Amino acid sequence: MRRPWQLGSGLLLTGLAGYVDALGFVRLGGLYMSFMSGNTTQLAVLGAGAELHRMILPATLIVAFLAGSVLGSGLAILVPARWTTPAVLAYETLLILAGLGLGLESPELGLAAFFVALAMGSQNAVLAQVTGFRAGTTFVTGALFSLGQKIAQALTRTGDPLGWIGDALVWMSLLFGAFLGAHAYQQFGLYALVAPAAVSGGLALITAFMVLRAAPPAANVPPT
Q: Torsion angle, CA of 86/201/137/195, rounded to 10 degrees?
A: 180
Q: Torsion angle, CA of 147/153/157/163, rounded to 10 degrees?
A: -40
Q: Averaged over 195-220, what is the pLDDT?
A: 84
- In the chain, how many domains are there? 1
Q: Are 110 and 58 in contact (CB under 8 A)?
A: no
Q: Are 39 and 58 in contact (CB under 8 A)?
A: yes
Q: What is the pLDDT of residue 222?
A: 54
In a domain, 192, yes or no: yes
What are the pLDDT digits (tens) for 30-47? 899 988 989 999 999 999
What are the pLDDT digits (tens) for 123-149? 888 766 554 555 656 678 888 888 899
In a domain, 220, yes or no: no
In a domain, 221, yes or no: no
> What is the span of the domain harbouring residue 203?
1-211
In a domain, 159, yes or no: yes
Q: Averaged over 18-28, what is the pLDDT?
A: 92
What are the pLDDT digits (tens) for 155-179? 999 989 998 998 899 899 999 999 9
Q: What is the pLDDT of residue 107?
A: 85
In a domain, 157, yes or no: yes
In a domain, 222, yes or no: no
Percentage with pLDDT > 90 across the chain? 61
Q: What is the pLDDT of residue 29?
A: 86
The whole model's pTM is what?
0.87
Q: What is the pLDDT of residue 5?
A: 73
